[in-house]
Structure 1
Amino acid sequence: MTSREIRSRFLTFFKDRGHRIVPSAPLVVKDDPTLLFVNAGMNPFKEYFLGVSNPKYPRVADTQKCLRVSGKHNDLEEVGRDTYHHTLFEMLGNWSFGDYFKEETIGWAWEFLTEVCGIDRDRLYVTIFEGSSDADALERDQEAYDFWKAILPEDRILMGSKKDNFWEMGDQGPCGPCSEIHVDIRPEEERRKTPGSELVNQDHPEVVEIWNLVFIQYNRKADGSLEPLPEKHIDTGMGFERLCMVLQGVRSNYDTDLFTPLIREIGKITGKDYGQSEEDDIAIRVIADHIRAVSFTIADGQLPGNSGAGYVIRRILRRAIRYGFTFLGAREPFMFRLVGTLVAEMGEAFPELAEQRRLVENVVREEEVSFLKTLEQGLARLDAVIAETRGKTVDGGRAFELYDTFGFPIDLTSLILRERGYELDRQGFDAAMKEQKDRSRAASESAAEDWVKVHPGPASEFVGYDALEARSRIRKYRKVESKKTGTLYQLVLDTTPFYPEGGGQVGDSGHLEGSGGAVTEILDTRKENNEILHITEALPEDPGAEFLAVVDAERRKQTRRNHTATHLLHQALREVLGSHVEQKGSAVQPGYLRFDFSHFSKLKDEELRRVEDFVNERIADGLDVEIKKGVPMQEALEAGAMALFGEKYGDTVRTVRFGDSIELCGGTHADNTAEIWHFKILSESAVAAGVRRIEAITSDAVREYFADKERVLEAIRTRLKNAQDPLQAVESLQEENAGLKKELERLKREQAGNLKGDLKSALDKRDGVHFLARQVDLDASSMKDLAFQLGGEVEDLFLLLGSEQDGKALLTLYISKGLAAEKDLNAGAIIRELGKHIQGGGGGQPFFATAGGKNPSGIGKALEAAASYLQ
C-alpha cells in the first residue's frame, strides 16, 4: 500500500465506527506556554482531557503533524544517524472523550492491523502495565490483559514497567495505564534464533512499537496522589512512518514512499546516490527529514528567527544546509527545490502545504543564501583556528569569536570539530559568553532607589483615551541612576492622561504644572509591573502638591495619526499581497511609522504604489474610527478582529475599527482617517528571511517632504540655467557624460595597448615560466584587460601588476591555467598572502585573482615577494 492508501484506510476505518475525522492542528502552538510545537497527537485535545472545555464530538480520529526538536522530546541529534528517528512525523490516532474504553480500543486496533493492513499476527506483541509498588501502589491492568488474552496467546502479552506503560501528561493532570503494540519485522532466520519478546522495548531497529493505546482513567493531583476520573478517555497514537515501513516491506522509514521521492530529488540535485556511502546517506537522511519539518512549520505560520520557535526552525534548516555543504558538496541553495516534491507527495493530505508553497520556497531559499555566506566565512575561519591549534582541544574563546563575529552556531562548531578529531573547550566558550553578557549588563545597569510613597492609593487610573489633561497627585516616586542616562526620576500618578509605551506606540511626553506655575517636564512614559511610570530629570519642588498633568497634544496628535495609518497599511498589504501577511512588529512615532510584516520577497514598485493608493483612498473617504472597550475576546474574534502574533490579551479587549479593518489594539487613534491627510512610503527593505519592513510618513511630515522635494527641484532648475524641461536637460547631460566615458575608456585601452608591448618585452623567463612583476598606472579594469591580453599571447605566464589609484593599492595576478595546474599554483591563495603587504585582502580563481589595500607603499614589497612562488 502507498502512504496515501494507508492514511486513507485508517481514517475510513474509524469514520465507519462513528468517529469524526478532524484536520491536523497547526504545528505551532500559540495558546500553551508549555509548548513551542505540537509534539504528540494528544496536544490539540489537551483542553478536553483537562476538563477546560467540552468536546464537540465524543469520538474523533485524525493524522496529526508533530515536531520533536526541543525540551523533553528532542530527537534532533539522532535524526539521520539511524533509520527511524525524525523531527517531523505523523501520528495517526483515535480518541474517545468519555465514550468507549478499553475493549473497543483494543479490538479495533487488532482488527485494523491484522485484517485491514494484513500484518502477520505472529509478528505482533503487546505490552500492558504490570502495576507498581511505589506510593501509587497500582495493580496490574488486568482489564487490558483480559481483553488481549481473548485475542492472542498469553506469551505475546508482555508486562511493562511504569516508565513504559503508564502515561502522564505532566506532574499534574489526567493519566493512566497504556498498552503498546510492537511489530517484529526481522527476517525469518533471525526470528527463529531470538524470540521477538526478548527484544521488545530494547531499542531494536526492527522490533518497534507501532501503536500506543492510552487509557486515561486517573487524575494526578497537586499532592502527587491519584484519583479516579469521573469520565474515562482514550488517547491512541500510531507512528505513521513506522506503519508505512511495515506495510511496504522495507527495513527503514527512509525507504518508504514518504521519503524516497525526496531522496531521489536530493540525489538528482547533488549528484550523490543514496546507498553508496554511509557518510553521504546520513546527510541525505538529515536533509530529507529536515525539509519536511521546516516546510510544514513555515506553512503553519512560523518563520525562522533568532528566538523561540523561530530559532528552532532556523537551527533545523541550518543543520540540513551544513550537511549538504560539507558532505554533498552543495555550495548553492538547493533545499528550496525540494519543496515541490514534498507538496506533490503530501499536499493532498495537508492542503496548507500546497497553499503556502510559494511562501515556503522563498523563505527557505532566502535562509539558504544567508547561511551559506555565513557558513563559507565561518568554515574558512574555523580552518584557520584549527591550523593554529596546538593539541586536539580548540580554545573556547576562539570559538566564541567565530560565534560572535560570523554568527556561526556553536553546536555546528562542536560537530565539525568532532568530525575532524578535535574537542571544543566548552567551558572557555561559556566563560567568553558570560563575559560578554556581563559587559552588556554593566553598560545598561541602573540602580533604583526605594520608592518614596507620597499619596498611597490604588493603581493609576489611565484617562488618556478621552483627555489630554487631568488633575493628578504623585502616589510615589524613586530615583534611578544609570551610566547610559544619568540621574532620572520615575513618578507614579494617581490619575494620568499619559499613554505608556506599548504595542509599538511610543510613550507620551508633556509636563506637570504646579500651583505656582512651576513646570516639571515629562520626558517619556513607560509601563512596568502594571504601573505607569512618568520619566523626569527632576522632582517637582513639592511632590505632595496637586498638579495638572498635561500631555504634549501636538506630539500625541501626530502619533495617533501614524498609529491609525499602520492599521490601514496592514489592511492594504493583505489586500495587495495576500492573506499570508501578518504584522511582526511596529514602531509608531510622531514623526514617522515603521511596520514589519511577513512576506517572502521585495515589493515591486507597482505593489508599493497600490499599497500607497489603498491607504490614501481610505484617508480620502474620511472613515470614522470606531473604538469599543471591554469586548469579550471570542466575540471580537468572531467579528473578524485580527489578533496580532505574540501579543497578550485578556478576557476582554479593545477593538479599533474603520471600514473593513478591525484589530485588537490598546493604542491611541485618530477620530477620522481624514486627519492623516496623506500617506507616503519612504522605504521598503528586508528585516530577516521572510520579514519585510516599510517606513512611512503622514500628515505634517508629508507636507515637509513635498516642500523639500520642491526646493530640490528648484535648485536643479537653477543649476540647469532655468531650463524649461529639467528632465530633458538632465538626460542631455547624461548622454554627454556617457560619450565622454566611452572616449576615456578608449584612451585607457590605447594606453594599455602601448604598455602591453613594453611589458611583453620585459618578461623574464625562469625555468620555462614567463615572469613579470611590475607597477603600472592603470585602474583595476584596465589591469585585468591587459593581463588577459598578455595571457592570450604568452604561454606559461606568471604576471603580477600593482597600481595606486585614489590613494589605494591594487594588485592583479594572472597565472596561465596550464602553469597553475602543473606547478600546483593558486592565484587566489597567493593574492591573499601578497595582499598583506598592502594591508588588505583579496581572492579569486586559481588562474586570476585581485587584491585591494590601504597601504600603497607596500606595493613594492608585494612585487618583490611574487618571485618566491616560482622557487
Structure 2
Amino acid sequence: MKSQDVRKQFLDFFKSNGHLIVPSAPIVLKDDPTLMFNNSGMAQFKEYFLGNGTPKSKRIADTQKCLRVSGKHNDLEDVGFDTYHHTMFEMLGNWSFGDYFKKEAINWAWQLLTEVYKIPKENLYVSVFEGSKEDNVPFDQEAWDIWKTLIDEDRIILGNKKDNFWEMGDQGPCGPCSEIHVDLRPEAEKALVSGKSLVNNDHPQVVEIWNNVFMEFNRKADGSLEKLPAQHVDTGMGFERLCMALQGKTSNYDTDVFTPLIEKVEQITGLKYTPNDVALSGVEESEEQNKTNIAIRVVVDHVRAVAFAIADGQVPSSGGAGYVIRRILRRAVYYGYKFLNAKEPFVNKLVEVLANQMGDFFPEIIKQKDFVINVIRQEETMFFLTIENGIKYFDLYSQLVNEGDSGKFKRLAGIELSNSDKEQGVFPGFFAFELKDTYGFPLDLTVLMAKNNGLTVNVDEYDRLMEEQKARSRAASEVSADDWVKIMDYGVNGVSTEFVGYDKTEEKPVSILQYRKIDSKKDGVLYQLVLDKTPFYPEGGGQVGDKGILDFGSFESENNDIIEILDTKKENNLIIHITKSLPKNPLNLGTAKVNTDLRSSTSKNHSATHLMHLALRNLLGTHVEQKGSLVNPNYLRFDFSHFSKVSDEELRQVEASVNAQIEAQLQLTEHRNIPIKEALDKGAMALFGEKYGDNVRMIEFGDSKELCGGIHVKNTAEIWHFKIISEGAVAAGIRRIEAITGDAVKDFYQNQENTLAEIKETLKNPQDILKSVASLQDDNAKLKKQVEQLLKEKVGALKSELEKDFQEVNGVNFLAKQVDLSMASTKDLASALGSSKENSFVFLASVEDGLPNIHCYIAKELVASKSLNANAVIKELGKYIEGNGGGQPFFASGKGKNAAGVKEALAHAIDFVK
C-alpha cells in the first residue's frame, strides 16, 4: 500500500464515521507562547481543550505536520542512528470534543488497524494506565475492559505515568492514554522473545504506532488535578511508522515516504544506501558504509523538516525558531560534507523530489518550492564558507587530545585549564563554544564530530559559557503563572470574548470574565484579564497590541478606579489584557478605552504595509511575498522574499507608488466574515504559515487585496505620506524594509531641514552648499595623504631607532616599548619591527586620545616551538590597562581605558620569554 493510500484510507475511515476532515495547521506556531513548533496533532486544537473556543465539529480528523526538535519533545539526537525517529513527521489523528469517549475511540482504532489495514492481531500489543497514587487517579479499568473484548488479555500491558498519562504541559488538560504497539520482527525471533517484554523498550521493530488519549483532567498550577467539565479524545498515529508496518518494512526509511529522497541522494553523491532488511539479514557492512547509511538518513529526514518550516514561513535565522531550523539544516550539511563527500550545496536539490512526492496533500510545498530551494541553497552556501575552516580547527584540537595533550590548545589560546581538560579524550566546552561563536557550529554538531572522533564534549563547561554570554546580553525572562480565577460562569461553550475594535475604540459596560497573576523576573508582577467584550486589538499579524485604560469607576463604584492596559495579546483564542494591577472589585462593570493616538499611528503604518506589498510585487515580481512584519505606532517593518538588494532607484519607485495610492484617497473596502474561497477568488493574498478559518476578513485599497485581521485607516489619505528609512538582508532570501508614515514623516523632514541648516551655518552659509562640501572633501583627502606620508617617515625613523633596543632573552629577540603614535601606526610599527628580526617578540604600547592600546608580534617559529601566543599575551597584559583584544597567535592587538597601566604592562611583557 503506497503512503498516499495509507493517508487517504485513514481520513476516509473517520469521515465515514462522522468526522470533519481539516487541513494540517502550519508547522510553526504563532498563537501559543508555550510552544515553538507544532509538536503534536492536538496543538492546533488546544483552544478547544482549554474551553476557549468552539470547534467546527465535535468530531474532527486530520494529518498534522509535526516537528520535535526542541523543548520537552526533542528527537533530533536519535535521527539517523535508528530507523524510526524523525525531526518532522505526520501525525494522523481523530478528535472528539465532548462527544464520544473511550469505547468508540478504542473500537475504531482496532477496526481500522485490523480490518481496513489488515494488520494481524497477533502482531499488536496495547497498554492502559495502571493508575497513580500521587495524583489519586485509579487504574483505567474501563479501557482494560474494552480492550479485553478485542484482544487477548496477555497482550494488554499496564503502563506507568511516564508512558500512559499524557499531559499538554506543566498546566492544562491531561488524562490517561492507551497505546497500540506493533511487533514487526521475523517469526523466528518472536518465538524466542515475547514482544510484550519489548514494548516501550526502544526495540526498533517493536514500536508504538497509535496513542489514544482520554482528556479527563486539568492540571492546575499547584500540580493538582481537577475534572474537566467535558471528556475529550485526542489520538495520534505516526504516519511513517504505520507505513513501515503496512509495507512490510523494518525501517521507516525503507518505505516510499523516504525512498525517492534516498534515491536522489544516491544520484547526487554516487554512494549507495543499504536498506535495513539487508542489514538485518546478517550481511556484514563496513564501518564506512554504516556511516554512509546514517548520513543519508539524516539528510533525507532533515530536508523535510527544513523545507516545510520554510514553506510555512519560518526561514533559518540566528535566534528562536529560525535558529532551530538553521541547526537542522547545518546538521544535514555537515553529514553530507563529512560522510557523503558533498563539497558544495546539495540539500536544496532534494526539494523538487519532496514537492513532487507530498505536494498533492500539502500544496504549500509546491507553491513555495522555488523560494524554499533558494533559501536552502543560500544557507548551504553560507555554511560551506565556514564549515571547512571549522572542521580543520576541530581536527587540530582533536589531534592534540588524541595525542594525550588535551590542554595544549588551551595553553596556546591562553585559557586556564579545567580539570576535565586534563582527562584523556575530553573535548573542552570552551572550544565547542568557540566553534559555535566563530563558525556557527551548533553544539549538537560538535558533539557529533567529537563522537565520530572517539571524544566526549564537556557539555557542562559549554553550557556555563553559553549561559554567561546570554546573561550579558539579556535580562532574565522567567515567567510563572497562577491558575485562572473565574469571575463569571461562561456556560457550556467556555470563555467567550467579543471583539468590537473594528468599529469602536471605547466600549461600556465591560465585565471581567477571568484573571490570573503572572510573576515575571523581567517585568515583576502582572495580571492578565479576559473581558466579555473588548475594543482592544490583540497583537497579531505583525501588528502590536493596543494600549489604553479600563475605568471601573463609572458604574457601580463611585470612586475612581482606573487600570492601565500595558499590552493586549492573544493566547489560545483568548484576548488577554495585561495590567499591573486589578480593579478594587473585579465584579464591577467598567469602560474599556483604547489609546486612540497610538491606534491611529499604528493603523497608518499597517495600511501602508499593504500598499508597499503591492508596490513591491508590481515592481520586483510576484515572487515577492510577505515573510514577516512589525507594525507599531512609530514605524513599520516588512520582511519579504527577494534574492538581491533592492536598489536605491527601485526604493524610490516603491515610495512613489505608495504615495500615489495615498494621494488617490483610496477608500477602505472591508469584507468581514466571508468564505475564504470567495476572498481568494476576489484576488486576496493569503500568507503562507498563517492559520485561516473557513471565514476570513479581507481588506481592499484599490488593487491591494489581502486577508488581514488588523486595524486600518478608512481612507489612504489619512496616511499623509510614506517614507522608506532602510532596506537590507535579514536572512537567506529575505529582505527587510523599514518605513514611516504620518507624523513620523513630518518629524523626519523637520530633522532633515534642521540638520541642513546647521551644516550651512557651520560652513558660513555658502551660496552652493554641495560645492562647499565637495571642496572640503578634496582638502581633507590632500591633508590625509600628507599626514600618511609624515607618519610613514616617523614610523621608519622610529623603526631604525628601536631596532637597536632589541635584547636577546632565552634565544628570543625581545623588545617592549611605548611610542608616541596613533593606534594604527603603532600596529604597523610592531609588525615592521617583528619582521626585521628572527625569533622576534615585540610588544608596543601607545596612548591615543587618552586611551591606551597594545600590540604583540611573535615570530611564527616561536609560536610553534615555544608555545607562545600573541592572543594570550594581549589577554594577560590587557588586564593592566583594563582592556581586551585579540587576533592571531602571531599578532594580536588590544585597547583599554587605563593609560596609567601601560608602564606595568610593558614591565611584565618580558615574563613571557624569561
TM-score, normalised on structure 2?
0.61
Alpha-carbon distance, 1:521 to partner? 8.3
The superposition leaves residues 651-690 of structure 1 with CA deviations (integer Å, 9 ceiling, x where unpaired) of: 6443221223333334332222233222111234566777
Report how far residue 360 of structure 1 moved.
1.9
Match of 1:779 in 2: 822
Structure 1 residue 559, shift from structure 2 partner:
3.5
Which shifted more, 842-851 or 427-436?
427-436
Q: Are 2:148 and 1:137 equivalent residues in the alignment?
A: yes
Q: Map 1:259-338 onto structure 2 (within 5 A).
A: 259-260=265-266, 288=299, 292-301=303-312, 302-304=314-316, 310=322, 312-317=324-329, 337-338=345-346
- 1:53 and 1:417 map into 2 onto residues whose CA distance is 44
Assess if the C-alpha contact under 8 Å between 2:854 and 2:895 holds in 1. Answer: yes
CA drift of 1:753 comes to 0.9
Query: Which residue type is aligned with residue 675 of structure 1?
Result: E
Are positions 1:588 and 2:661 aligned together?
Answer: no
Amino acid at match of 1:856: A
CA displacement, residues 202-230 of structure 1 (integer Å, 9 cap, x when unaligned): 89xxx98699999x9x999999999xxxx
Cα contact 1:105–1:213 (8 A) shared by 2: no
Which string of whole-angstrom CA distances, capped at 9 and with x for unpartnered residues, describes residues 177-222 of structure 1? 99877689xxxxxxxxx8797699789xxx98699999x9x99999
* CA distance in 2: counterparts of 1:449 and 1:244, whole angstroms: 49
Query: 3-state DSSP class of the match of 1:798?
Result: strand
Deviation at 1:801, TM superposition (A): 1.4
After superposition, what is the alpha-carbon deviation per residue over 1:384-411, rounded to whole angstroms, capped at 9, x for unaligned?
6861669999xxxx99x989x9899887
Q: CA deviation at 1:808?
A: 2.0
Once residues 489 and 179 of structure 1 are traced to their aligned partners in structure 2, the CA distance between those partners, rounded to angstroms, is: 48
Residues 510 and 550 of structure 1 are in contact (CA less than 8 Å); yes or no, is this contact kept in structure 2?
yes
Q: How much does 1:732 deviate?
A: 1.6
| 1:479-518 pair list within 5 angstroms | 504-507=543-546, 509=548
Which region of structure 1 is more displaced relative to structure 2, 496-505 or 772-781? 496-505
**Stretch deviating more after TM superposition (801-810 or 347-356):** 347-356
- 1:727: which partner in 2? 770
> What residue is the counterpart of 2:746 in the other structure?
703
Q: Give the match for residue 418 of structure 2.
A: 387
Cα distance change of structure 1 residues 128 and 690 upon mapping to structure 2, 3 Å threshold: farther
- Say whether residues 1:694 and 2:733 are aligned partners: no
Q: Summarize the alignment of residues 645-660 of structure 1 with structure 2, pairs less than 5 Å apart.
A: 652-660=695-703
CA contact (8 A) 2:799 2:833 kept: yes
Q: Which residue of 2 aligns with 1:339?
A: 347
Structure 2 residues not aligned, in runs of 5+: 13-22, 45-54, 93-107, 128-143, 159-163, 167-173, 217-230, 235-241, 273-284, 360-365, 395-408, 490-494
Amino acid at match of 2:742: S
d(CA) in 1 for partners of 2:588 and 2:40? 56
How far is the alpha carbon of 1:755 from its aligned partner?
Answer: 0.9
Q: Cα–Cα, structure 1 residues 488 and 374, in superposed 2: closer, same or farther, change >3 Å?
A: farther
1:850 equivalenced with 2:849 (yes/no): no
- Per-residue deviation, 1:869: 2.6
Do 1:90 and 1:241's aligned partners in 2 also have CA atoms closer than 8 Å?
no
Counterpart in 2 of 1:420?
A: 456
- The farther-off stretch of 336-345 and 316-325 is 316-325
How far apart, CA to CA, are the structure 2 residues paired with 1:805 and 1:814? 20
Q: Using the alignment, how far apart are the partners of 1:552 and 1:713 within structure 2?
A: 35
Residue from 718, 721, 728 that aligns with 1:678? 721
Larger relative contact order, structure 1 or 2 (CA cutoff 8 Å, min sep 6)? 2
Q: How many equivalent residue pairs?
A: 747
Whole-angstrom CA distance in 2 between matches of 1:837 and 1:425: 27
The yes-or-no answer on 1:76 pairing with 2:76 is: yes
Match of 1:337, SS state, is: coil
Equivalent-residue separation in structure 1 for 2:67 and 2:581 (angstroms): 51
The alpha-carbon deviation at position 734 of structure 1 amounts to 0.8
Report deviation, 1:736: 1.0
Return closer, same or farther for 1:87/1:864 CA change in 2, 3 Å cut-off.
same
- The DSSP-based 3-state class of the residue aligned with 1:622 is coil
Structure-to-structure mapping, 1:590-669, within 5 angstroms: 591-596=634-639, 603-643=646-686, 652-669=695-712
Structure 2 residue aligned with 1:571: 614
Q: CA deviation at 1:769?
A: 3.2
In structure 1, runs of 5+ residues without a counterpart are: 1-5, 56-63, 110-125, 142-158, 185-193, 227-233, 267-273
CA contact (8 A) 1:130 1:160 kept: no
1:276–1:733 distance in 2 versus 1, CA, 3 Å: farther
* C-alpha distance in 2 between matches for 1:88 and 1:509: 42
1:743 pairs with 757, 775, 786, which one? Answer: 786
**Residue 802 (structure 2) aligns with:** 759
Task: Check conservation: 1:492, 1:534, Cα contact below 8 A.
Answer: no
Whether 2:790 is the aligned partner of 1:769: answer no
Pairwise CA distance, 1:744: 0.4
In the alignment, is the contact (CA less than 8 A) between 1:500 and 1:527 conserved in 2? yes
Aligned with residue 361 of structure 1, among 377, 382, 388 = 377
Residue identity matched to 1:362: Q
Q: Is the 8 A contact 2:842 2:857 kept in 1?
A: yes
Q: Is 1:859–2:867 an aligned residue pair?
A: no
2:99 corresponding residue in structure 1: none
Q: Cα offset for 1:792?
A: 4.1
1:745-802: CA deviation from partner (whole Å, max 9, x where unpaired)? 1000100111111111222234543221111112233233333433444323222212
Query: For 2:77 and 2:590, how far apart are their aligned partners in 1?
Result: 64
- The Cα offsets for residues 49-71 of structure 1, whole Å up to 9 and x where unpaired, read as 9964899xxxxxxxx99866569
Aligned to 2:27: 28
In 1, Cα distance between the equivalents of 2:736 and 2:758? 32
Work out the CA distance in 2 between the residues paired with 1:795 and 1:427. Answer: 42
SS at match of 1:825: coil
C-alpha contact (below 8 Å) 1:586/1:594 kept by paired residues: yes
**Which one-letter code corresponds to 1:587 in the other structure?**
V
Q: Report deviation, 1:434.
A: 15
Aligned-pair CA distance for 1:624: 1.8
Q: 1:673 to 1:681 in 2, by over 3 A?
A: same
Give me the whole-angstrom Cα distance separating, in 2, the residues matched to 1:443 and 1:241: 44
- How many Å separate the matches in 2 of 1:670 and 1:712? 32
CA contact (8 A) 1:27 1:67 kept: no
Deviations 1:609-632 (A, max 9, x none): 343233223223332210122324
Deviations 1:704-743 (A, max 9, x none): 3223323322332333333333222212211110110111
TM-score normalised by the chain length of structure 1:
0.64
Instruction: Tell me how far apart the structure 1 counterparts of residues 876 and 443 of structure 2 sit (CA, whole Å).
Output: 29
Asked if the contact 2:433/2:465 (under 8 Å) is kept, the reply is no
> Partner of 1:694: helix, strand, or coil?
strand
For residues 261-312 of structure 1, the C-alpha deviation after alignment (integer angstroms, 9 at most, x for no partner) is 666799xxxxxxx978799879956864565245423442333469986565
SS at match of 2:714: coil
The structure that has the greater radius of gyration is 1
Determine if contact 1:183/1:208 at 8 Å carries over to the other structure: no
Q: How do 1:79-90 and structure 2 match up within 5 A?
A: 79-81=79-81, 87=87
- Separation in 2 of the partners of 1:805 and 1:462? 62
CA 1:842–1:320: 2 relative to 1, 3 Å? farther
